[in-house]
């Protein structure tokens, strides 16, 4: 069953802080756009019951992006 991930909650940042950082950091903005797209693809793949290997690879990409986003956000103070 597809599960939508709440990125701000997963990263322990408020949505407002993420949006503020996103507005001033083009790299973070691009990462967040990529994360949103890959998360959508994961949900679609799960809903379509695609092969486990394809879903696993998409999830790995999503996790990698999440790690990059976390590193970018940790470059400044938390809220």
pLDDT digits (tens, 9 = 90+) for 9-49: 999 999 999 999 999 999 999 999 999 999 999 999 988 88
Tell me, yes or no, whether 1 lies in a domain.
no
Cβ contact 59:42 at 8 Å: yes
Tally the domains of the chain.
Answer: 1
pTM above 0.95, yes or no: no
Tell me, yes or no, whether 14 lies in a domain.
yes
Tell me, yes or no, whether 19 lies in a domain.
yes
Tell me, yes or no, whether 78 lies in a domain.
no
Tell me, yes or no, whether 27 lies in a domain.
yes
Per-residue pLDDT, 78: 44
Tell me, yes or no, whether 20 lies in a domain.
yes
Residues 6 or more apart whose CB falls under 8 angstroms from that of 21 comprise 28, 72, 73, 76
End-to-end CA distance of the chain: 32
Tell me, yes or no, whether 2 lies in a domain.
no
Tokens of 72: 């970018």
Q: Which residues form the domain of 44? A: 8-73
């Amino acid at each position: 069953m597809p599960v939508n991930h709440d990125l701000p909650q997963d990263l322990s940042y408020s949505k407002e802080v993420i949006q503020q950082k996103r507005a001033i950091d083009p790299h973070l903005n691009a990462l967040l756009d990529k994360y949103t797209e890959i998360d959508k693809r994961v949900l679609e793949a799960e809903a379509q019951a695609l092969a486990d290997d394809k879903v696993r690879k998409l999830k790995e990409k999503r996790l990698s992006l999440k790690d990059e986003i976390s590193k970018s956000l940790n470059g400044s103070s938390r809220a």
